[in-house]
Structure 1
Amino acid sequence: MGVAMKIVTKLQFSSLQISESLSFSHVFQPIFSLQDDKLYGYESLLRGKNIQNPEVLFALAEQQDKLYDLDISSVLQSIITFDAHLLTSGQAPYLSVNVFPSSLLKPSFLWMLEGLMRKVNLPSNRIMLELNEAETVQDLTGLQEMVHYLKSAGFIIALDDLGKGYSSLRMALELQPDAIKLDRYFCIDLEHSLKKQRFLDWIVSYFKEEGISVTLEGIETHSQLDIARQVGVPYGQGYILGRPQPLIKSHIMK
């Protein structure tokens, strides 16, 4: 067994009630290839010292105009933490990192990301940037240009939580991502919902034809896992496959 390693970052918030500063770190949830039961990668999930729900953390940051500060810190810290646990040979698993579309459009985002990538061993083609669906995109043209640039630099672009918001299907068509992640809504009562089963079958077939991979989030039972495999979902994530936890060296065997 490896030794657990935790990297903690602090941000100062002017009026955060729970504390004068917010400490956060990351846990990592495995993503598996459902067709061959092999580890595909990990999604990095933000956790605060006093607040475990990342949506609450980002809501607090947005209230105090610190959303970008928290988001860019989370992205960079995810990569640093993951890179610190990589072994020295072979090919690394993928790292999936959440990021707000508005963060991509900030002038400093790109040079901070590129500056970090020059210092770590993890290559850009093993990093998936998941665009957070919770945010309304104000500058679609600018976002399309940034997505195109990041893809040309080797990063994988994914659209997170497809089906959670009203604009997500449009975004999937407009941005032409490399991957989509289906919201956990589609796993709720999946065993008893023929409509959801048919939808999964259709959407997997559609995006496969478009060359876009699909990950189903929120798989929590064996029956949900079996159905996902039967309809051909390429990748899966959920408690039945692995819970979020801090990384140790033995978790990331290359």
Structure 2
Amino acid sequence: MAFSHLIEQKAFYHDFQPIFDLTDEQTVGYEALFRSGAYANPESAYHHAIESNLLYELDISSIDAAVHSFLNAQADVRNKKLFVNAYPSTILHPEFTERMIEILNRFPAGRQSLVLEIIESEEIKNFKRLGEVVRTLKQKGLLIAVDDFGKGGDNINRTIEVDADYIKLDRYFSIDLLLSEKKQAYVSFIVQYCAQFNIKAILEGLEKEEDIKRAKGLGIHYAQGNLLGKPQQVDDICECDP
């Protein structure tokens, strides 16, 4: 299958992984995770999209499909945030703002519920322009998250310049968090930074009870990981405690 056909035929779907509030033990949102039967590894699809010069087309089609699935789900996901991913180059594409406003207009329930995660694995070449686009989208009701914070080289720059509503800490910090004083110190610093600027911190990749307990002790309110909830089809979502 030519890659353009994958996009045109929407030969992909999404699983949705819960984001959990550790304080009141409730699900506050879900991240849409791209899946395709043509690719065992979703990252391979995006590498192919980049090679085919179709990254923007894949990103915007994926976002549109994820929003449609989520807001038309049989499961009760009302009042839950939906996190969708996009590369910086996609956000800077000249058609992106108009397409996102179009999506929000078609799905008005998505306003103040839709969170755009800026993917880490691409260098941002124009922070000023990115900030301008993000400000426009935030005025329309879109929220912004910085993904995989602590993994890339310009995380701090993008967090400041895009006025993020969420910082998603990379899963590196979750691994054996209880055993690493340095990781705990860094997480504590981010928690303090977020508290000062009214940003919500989400710790990704929590897989052990002891690390979840330590994260909560450090002030992390929101977390994501298979122990808290595995990715699943939206109609299979059950609003119950992990």
TM-score by length of 1: 0.87
Residue correspondences, number: 239
Residue equivalent to 2:118: 131
Q: Which amino acid aligns with 1:36?
A: D
Q: Distance in 1 between matches of 2:36 and 2:121?
A: 19
| Counterpart contact for 1:12–1:22, Cα < 8 Å | no
Q: Which amino acid aligns with 2:187?
A: L
- Can you list the C-alpha shifts for 1:165-193, whole angstroms capped at 9, x where unaligned? 01111211222211110000101221211
Q: How does 1:86-97 map to 2 (within 5 A)?
A: 91-97=78-84
Q: Distance in 2 between matches of 1:29 and 1:163?
A: 21
| Counterpart contact for 1:159–1:172, Cα < 8 Å | yes
- Aligned-residue offset at 1:121: 4.6
Residue equivalent to 1:212: 199
What is the aligned counterpart of 1:68 among 50, 53, 56?
56
Structure 1 residues 92 and 12, CA gap change in structure 2 (3 angstroms): farther
Q: Distance in 2 between matches of 1:120 and 1:224?
A: 37
Q: How does 1:33-112 map to 2 (within 5 A)?
A: 33-85=21-73, 91-112=78-99
Residue equivalent to 1:7: none
What is the aligned counterpart of 1:193 among 154, 162, 180?
180
| Counterpart contact for 1:93–1:252, Cα < 8 Å | no
- Aligned-residue offset at 1:52: 3.4
Q: Distance in 2 between matches of 1:116 and 1:231?
A: 37
Mapped pair 1:13 → 2:8: no
SS in 1 for 2:20: strand
- Can you list the C-alpha shifts for 1:191-241, whole angstroms capped at 9, x where unaligned? 211111121112111111111110000000101110111001020000110
| Counterpart contact for 1:31–1:39, Cα < 8 Å | yes
Mapped pair 1:115 → 2:105: no
| Counterpart contact for 1:216–1:235, Cα < 8 Å | yes
Q: Distance in 1 between matches of 2:219 and 2:21?
A: 11
Kindly report the root-mean-square deviation, in angstroms, between the aligned alpha carbons of the 2 structures.
2.3
Residue equivalent to 2:131: 144
Deviates more, 1:242-251 or 1:208-217: 242-251
SS in 1 for 2:109: coil
| Counterpart contact for 1:31–1:236, Cα < 8 Å | yes
Percentage of matched positions with identical amino acids: 37
Structure 1 unmatched runs, 5+: 1-10
Q: Which amino acid aligns with 1:13?
A: F
| Counterpart contact for 1:30–1:43, Cα < 8 Å | yes
SS in 2 for 1:242: coil
TM-score by length of 2: 0.91
SS in 2 for 1:159: strand
- Aligned-residue offset at 1:91: 4.4
Q: Distance in 1 between matches of 2:57 and 2:155?
A: 25
Give the 4+ runs in structure 1 shifted more than 6 A.
none
Structure 2 unmatched runs, 5+: none
- Can you list the C-alpha shifts for 1:110-166, whole angstroms capped at 9, x where unaligned? 222222222225231001000011111111111000111111111111100001101
Q: Distance in 2 between matches of 1:61 and 1:231?
A: 39
Residue equivalent to 1:156: 143
Q: Distance in 1 between matches of 2:79 and 2:108?
A: 10
Q: Which has the higher contact order (CA 8 A, sep 6+)?
A: 1
Q: Distance in 2 between matches of 1:103 and 1:165?
A: 18
Q: Distance in 1 between matches of 2:177 and 2:101?
A: 41
Q: Which amino acid aligns with 2:21?
A: S
| Counterpart contact for 1:86–1:252, Cα < 8 Å | no
Q: Distance in 1 between matches of 2:107 and 2:146?
A: 25
